């Protein structure tokens, strides 16, 4: 069975966007620094991105993120998931929402589902032996961890303090998650940390 991998870039102070994130400012003020490792990183950064892309059989995301990437300032016609040209094989994307849009700008690889559990079930069926990658935003990533649906947490911790924005982990109390570090790669642009989610009982 494929693994469900929460994979997201995060600031040192725990934000996955800067403040004032929205349709035309998807990563918020200062948030582009979170993905500096993707576009301006080292060979080691690129190897991590390429390996993740190659291992991805399906993608899960939340509705807010979908609205941003399918919006006018989102993914372009020639660049999509994993910062890869859309001419390459693109994994299907399952969007968790209670209100599916009537049409999408980026085509028919988006599928709309009502719950995280349903997204995981459909994504696993589509992914085969490859990973199901939860790419964001912060709320759906946290839901996957808090409800025990995730198998792996992969953080790309970037050397920036945003001060405000969209949190990966909520400020209010939430479910505890036990993790075991399985891999760590350090580059000037990010600390790439991979954790296995420890199951209890």
Is the pTM for the entire model greater than 0.85? yes
Q: pLDDT tier at 40 (50, 70, 90 boundaries)?
A: very high
Domain span at 35: 4-197
Check residues 105 and 21 and name the one with the higher pLDDT: 21
Predicted confidence (pLDDT) at residue 75 exceeds the cutoff of 80: no
Range in 76-90, 96-110, 150-164 with the lowest mean pLDDT: 76-90
Per-residue pLDDT tens digits for 43-68 = 999 999 999 988 999 999 999 988 88
Given this model, what pLDDT does residue 78 score? Answer: 63
> DSSP letters along the chain, please?
---EEEEEEEETTSEEE-TT-BTTBTT-TTGGGGGHHHHH--HHHHHHHHHHHHHEEEEEEEHHHHHHHTSTTS-BTTB-GGG--TTS----EEEE-SS--S--TT-TTEEEESSHHHHHHHHHHHHTTSEEEEEE-HHHHHHHHHTT--SEEEEEEES----SSEESS-SS------EEEEEEEE-SS-EEEEEEEPP--
Given this model, what pLDDT does residue 88 score? Answer: 58
Q: The CATH number of the domain where 88 resides is what? A: 3.40.430.10
Q: pLDDT tier at 73 (50, 70, 90 boundaries)?
A: confident
The count of structural domains within the chain is: 1
């Amino acid at each position: 069975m494929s693994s469900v991998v929460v994979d997201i870039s995060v600031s040192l102070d725990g934000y996955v966007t800067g403040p004032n994130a929205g349709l035309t400012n998807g990563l918020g003020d200062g948030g582009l620094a979170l993905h500096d490792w993707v576009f301006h990183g080292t060979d080691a950064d690129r190897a991590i991105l390429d390996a993740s892309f190659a291992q991805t059989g399906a993608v899960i995301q939340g509705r807010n993120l979908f609205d941003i990437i399918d919006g006018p300032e989102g993914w372009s016609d020639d660049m999509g998931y994993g910062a890869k040209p859309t001419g390459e094989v693109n994994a299907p994307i399952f969007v968790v929402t209670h209100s599916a849009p009537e049409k999408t700008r980026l085509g028919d690889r988006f599928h709309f589902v009502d719950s995280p559990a349903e997204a995981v079930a459909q994504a696993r069926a589509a992914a085969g032996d490859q990973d199901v990658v939860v790419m964001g935003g912060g709320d759906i990533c946290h839901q996957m961890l808090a409800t025990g649906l995730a198998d792996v947490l992969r953080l790309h911790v970037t050397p920036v303090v945003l001060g405000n924005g969209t949190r990966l982990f909520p400020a209010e109390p939430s479910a505890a998650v036990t993790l075991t570090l399985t891999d760590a790669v350090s580059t000037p642009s990010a600390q790439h940390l991979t954790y296995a989610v420890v199951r209890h009982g």
